[in-house]
C-alpha cells in the first residue's frame, strides 16, 4: 500500500499539464478512493460480490474478459424472468378487472330494480302503516273497554253474591269484597262525572246504588240473624265488617244495635238467674242463693258476677265495632253496655233491698255499703257512662248508707239508755258503755273502704258515736267529786283517743279531746299538790311566809323552829315513801303515763313550795339557826326523782 502511494506521488510530481498527466491523476484518485473503501461495511458491494461468486468460479483472463458479457446476459435473463412473472400477474389482474366490471354491471342492474321496487312498495308501506295504527288504536280501545267493564261493571257471579241465591243466610269474605267493589265503582263514577262523561257516570252510579241497596238489605237481614246467636265468636269478623257497612244507613245500623242489645240483655238475665238458683255447669260454682244467710257474701257474689261479665261484654263490643269510623265508639260502647246490663237491675235491686231492710247489724250494713260503693265505682269505670246499672248501684249504696246511719244512731242511743247513773263511777275505770261503743266504732271502721268517696264517712261515723258518748261521760262526771270526775274522764277519754288515733280522724276533734284531758290532769295535779301540802302541814307555814311584813319568822307562832322541824320530819317520811301521799282516786288512773304526769307535776309544785320555805329559813333576817333545814331544793328534787 505505501508503494502505490509513492508511485502516485511520483506521477503528480513528474506530470505536466498534458492529458496523460491528468488521466494518471484521475486514475490515482480512483485507486486511492478504491483502496480507502471498507467493503465489509458496504452491504450492496458485499451482495454484488456474493452474487458474482455464484457464476464467477475462476479468475483468469478469459473469464475476466467475458465477465461483462456474462453479467449482461445474466441481467437479461433476470429481466426475462421478471417479465414472465409480471405477465402472469397482468393476466390475473385482467381477470379481476373483468369480474369487477361484471359485478358493477350486476349492482347497477340490481339498483335499478330496487329503485323500481321501492317506488312500487312505498305506497304499500304507507297503507300498511296506516292500517297498523288503526289496529293499535282499536286494540287500545278494546283493552280500555275491557278494563272499564271490569272496573265499572259487576260480573254475573258478583251480582249473584249480592243477591244471595240459595245461600241467602250465609255471608263471607267474598260478599264484602263485592260490596267494597260496589262502593269503589260508585266513587269512581264521580271521576267520570268530573271528566264530562255525564251519561255513563250517572247510569253506572244508579246501577251501583241499586246493587248497594240490595247488598245492604241482605246484610241487614243476615246481621239480625247473627246477633241473635248467643255465641257470635265465629261470626265476629264478618259482623264487624257488616257493622262497618251498615253504619252508612243510620236507621238500619241503630236497629241492629237495638236488636243486639235486646238479645244480649235477655241472655245476661238468664245467666244471672241461673247463677243465683242453679249455679255453674255440674254445680260448680254453687248457686249464689245458697249463701243468702250471709249478707256480705251474698251481695258480694252477686256484684262480683256482674263485675265479671262486664269486661267480657266490653271486649265483644270493641271487637264487633272496631271498624266503625263514623260514630263515637266510647259513647256507643257505653250505650250498648248500659242496655245489656239493664235487665239484671230489677232482680239485683229487689234482693239487695230485702237484705238491707231486714239487716239489724250496723257493722254488716256498713260493710255492705262499702261493698256496693266499691263495685259501683269499679263497674262505672268499665261502663264509662251513665247507665241504669250504675244508677241502681248508687241508689242501693245510698239506701244502705242511710240504713247504716239510722241503725248506728239507734244502737248508740240504746246502749247509752242501758247505762245506769253510776255506770263505771264505783272504781272510776272505763265504763262499760265506753268499751262497748268504742268496740262498735272499731268494728264499723274495720270495714272502711279504700274508695275515695267513702273517706267522707269517717267524720260522720265518728261523730255519731263519739259525740253522744262524750256527752254521756261528762254528764256522769258531773255527779262525782272533782278529783274522781277528773280520773273518770281521763280513764274514759284515754281509750277514746287511742281508738281515734288509729284512723284518719279529724285533727280538731283529737285536739279538743287532748285539751279536755289536759284540763283533767291539771285538776288532778292541783288536788294532789294540795293533798301533799296538807299532809305535810306546809300550808299554814307558807301562808305566814307569804304574808310576812318583814319581822323575824323564827319568832312568829306557826313558823318557829319546832314547827319547821316537824314539817321537815314529815317531808322525810314523804321522801322515804312517796306513794303514801298519793290521792286514792289517782291510783285508779288506767294510764301509767297519766299517773307519772300527775306525780311529777305535783312533786314539782312541792319543790317550788319547799324552795320558798328554804329561802325564808336561810335568810339571816328571819333568825333561824344554821342547819334548820338539812336538805336543799336540789337534793329534794333529786330524791323525788324528777
Write the pLDDT tens digit of every residue in 190-218: 777 877 777 777 888 888 888 888 888 88
In this prediction, residue 169 has a pLDDT band, given cuts at 50, 70 and 90, of low
DSSP string, 368-400: HHHHHHHHHHHHHHHH-S--HHHHHHHHHHHHH
| pLDDT, tens only, 124-160 | 888 888 888 888 888 887 777 777 777 777 888 888 8
Q: Where in the chain are the domains?
A: 2-68, 254-418, 432-505, 525-639
- The secondary structure of residue 287, as a DSSP letter, is P
In 3-state terms the chain splits into helix, strand, coil percentages (rounded to 5) of 80, 0, 20
In this prediction, residue 489 has a pLDDT band, given cuts at 50, 70 and 90, of very high
Greatest mean pLDDT among 122-131, 269-278, 456-465 lies in: 269-278
Say which residue the cell 245458697 belongs to: 290
Indicate if the pLDDT at residue 41 is higher than 70. Answer: no
pLDDT at 14: 42
Overall average pLDDT of the 612-627 stretch: 84
Q: Which of 576, 575, 574, 565 is nearest to 627 (CA)?
A: 565
| pLDDT, tens only, 230-239 | 666 667 788 8
pLDDT at 611: 92
pLDDT at 557: 82
pLDDT at 421: 45
- Cis-peptide, bond into residue 276, ω within 30° of zero: no
Indicate if the pLDDT at residue 110 is higher than 70. Answer: yes
Q: Which of 340, 355, 260, 338 is nearest to 302 (CA)?
A: 355
pLDDT at 483: 87
Indicate if the pLDDT at residue 282 is higher than 60. Answer: yes
In this prediction, residue 420 has a pLDDT band, given cuts at 50, 70 and 90, of low
Overall average pLDDT of the 300-310 stretch: 93
In this prediction, residue 39 has a pLDDT band, given cuts at 50, 70 and 90, of low
Question: What whole-number distance in Å separates Cα of residue 294 and Cα of residue 368?
Answer: 11
pLDDT at 305: 94
pTM: 0.65
Overall average pLDDT of the 344-364 stretch: 93
pLDDT at 12: 41
Indicate if the pLDDT at residue 4 is higher than 60. Answer: no
In this prediction, residue 276 has a pLDDT band, given cuts at 50, 70 and 90, of very high
In this prediction, residue 403 has a pLDDT band, given cuts at 50, 70 and 90, of very high
Overall average pLDDT of the 477-497 stretch: 89
Overall average pLDDT of the 610-617 stretch: 89
| pLDDT, tens only, 60-80 | 777 777 777 888 888 888 888
pLDDT at 409: 93
> Distance of CA 530 to CAs 186, 535, 537, Å?
107, 9, 10
Amino acid at each position: 500500500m505505501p508503494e502505490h502511494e509513492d508511485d502516485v506521488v511520483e506521477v503528480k510530481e513528474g506530470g505536466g499539464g498534458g492529458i496523460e498527466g491528468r488521466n494518471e491523476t484521475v486514475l490515482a484518485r480512483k485507486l486511492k478512493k478504491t483502496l480507502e473503501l471498507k467493503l465489509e461495511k458496504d452491504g450492496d458491494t458485499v451482495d454484488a460480490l456474493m452474487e458474482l461468486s455464484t457464476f464467477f468460479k475462476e479468475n483468469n483472463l478469459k473469464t475476466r474478459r467475458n465477465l461483462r458479457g456474462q453479467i449482461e446476459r445474466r441481467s437479461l435473463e433476470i429481466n426475462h424472468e421478471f417479465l414472465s412473472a409480471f405477465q402472469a400477474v397482468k393476466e390475473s389482474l385482467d381477470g379481476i378487472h373483468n369480474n369487477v366490471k361484471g359485478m358493477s354491471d350486476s349492482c347497477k342492474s340490481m339498483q335499478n330494480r330496487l329503485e323500481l321496487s321501492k317506488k312500487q312498495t312505498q305506497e304499500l308501506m304507507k297503507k300498511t302503516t296506516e292500517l297498523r295504527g288503526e289496529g293499535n288504536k282499536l286494540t287500545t280501545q278494546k283493552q280500555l273497554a275491557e278494563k272499564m267493564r271490569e272496573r265499572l261493571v259487576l260480573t254475573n257471579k258478583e251480582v249473584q253474591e249480592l243477591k244471595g241465591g240459595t245461600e241467602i243466610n250465609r255471608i263471607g269474605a267474598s260478599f264484602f269484597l263485592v260490596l267494597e267493589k260496589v262502593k269503589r265503582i260508585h266513587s269512581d263514577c264521580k271521576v267520570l262525572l268530573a271528566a264530562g262523561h255525564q251519561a255513563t257516570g250517572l247510569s253506572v252510579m244508579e246501577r251501583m246504588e241499586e246493587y248497594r241497596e240490595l247488598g245492604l238489605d241482605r246484610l241487614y237481614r243476615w246481621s239480625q240473624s247473627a246477633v241473635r246467636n248467643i255465641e257470635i265468636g265465629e261470626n265476629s269478623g264478618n259482623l264487624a265488617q257488616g257493622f262497618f257497612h251498615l253504619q252508612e244507613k243510620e236507621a238500619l245500623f241503630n236497629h241492629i244495635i237495638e236488636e243486639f242489645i235486646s238479645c244480649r240483655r235477655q241472655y245476661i238475665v238468664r245467666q244471672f238467674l241461673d247463677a243465683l238458683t242453679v249455679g255453674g255447669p255440674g254445680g260448680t260454682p254453687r248457686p249464689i242463693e245458697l249463701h243468702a244467710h250471709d249478707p256480705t257474701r251474698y251481695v258480694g257474689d252477686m256484684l262480683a258476677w256482674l263485675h265479671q261479665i262486664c269486661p267480657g261484654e266490653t271486649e265483644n263490643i270493641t271487637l264487633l265495632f272496631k271498624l266503625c269510623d263514623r260514630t263515637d265508639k266510647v259513647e256507643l260502647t257505653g250505650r250498648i253496655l248500659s242496655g245489656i246490663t239493664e235487665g239484671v237491675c230489677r232482680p239485683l235491686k229487689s234482693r239487695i233491698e230485702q237484705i238491707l231492710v231486714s239487716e239489724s247489724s250496723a257493722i254488716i250494713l256498713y260493710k255492705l255499703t262499702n261493698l256496693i260503693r266499691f263495685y259501683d265505682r269499679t263497674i262505672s269505670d268499665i261502663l264509662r257512662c251513665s247507665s241504669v246499672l250504675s244508677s241502681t248501684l248508687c241508689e242501693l249504696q245510698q239506701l244502705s248508707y242511710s240504713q247504716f246511719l239510722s241503725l248506728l244512731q239507734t244502737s248508740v242511743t240504746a246502749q247509752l239508755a242501758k247505762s245506769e247513773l253510776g255506770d263505771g263511777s264505783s272504781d272510776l275505770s272505763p265504763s262499760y258503755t265506753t268499751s262497748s261503743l268504742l268496740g262498735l266504732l272499731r268494728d264499723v271502721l274495720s270495714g272502711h273502704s279504700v274508695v275515695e268517696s267513702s273517706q267522707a264517712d269517717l267524720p260522720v261515723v265518728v261523730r255519731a258515736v263519739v259525740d253522744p258518748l262524750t256527752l254521756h261521760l261528762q254528764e256522769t262526771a258531773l255527779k262525782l267529786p272533782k278529783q274522781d270526775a277528773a280520773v273518770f274522764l281521763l280513764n274514759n277519754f284515754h281509750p277514746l283517743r287511742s281508738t281515734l288515733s288509729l284512723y284518719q280522724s279529724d285533727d280538731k276533734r283529737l285536739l279538743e279531746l287532748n285539751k279536755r284531758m289536759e284540763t283533767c290532769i291539771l285538776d288532778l295535779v292541783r288536788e294532789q299538790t294540795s293533798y301533799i301540802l296538807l299532809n305535810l302541814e306546809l300550808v299554814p307555814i307558807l301562808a305566814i311566809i307569804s304574808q310576812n311584813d318583814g319581822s323575824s319568822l323564827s319568832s312568829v307562832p306557826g313558823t318557829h323552829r319546832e314547827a319547821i322541824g316537824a314539817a321537815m320530819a314529815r317531808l322525810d317520811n314523804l321522801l322515804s315513801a312517796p306513794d303514801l301521799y298519793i290521792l286514792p282516786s289517782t291510783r285508779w288512773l288506767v294510764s301509767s303515763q297519766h299517773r307519772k304526769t300527775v306525780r311529777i307535776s305535783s312533786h314539782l309544785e312541792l319543790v317550788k313550795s319547799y324552795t320558798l320555805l328554804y329561802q325564808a329559813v336561810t335568810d339571816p333576817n328571819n333568825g333561824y339557826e344554821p342547819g334548820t333545814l338539812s336538805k336543799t331544793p336540789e337534793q329534794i328534787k333529786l330524791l323525788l326523782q324528777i
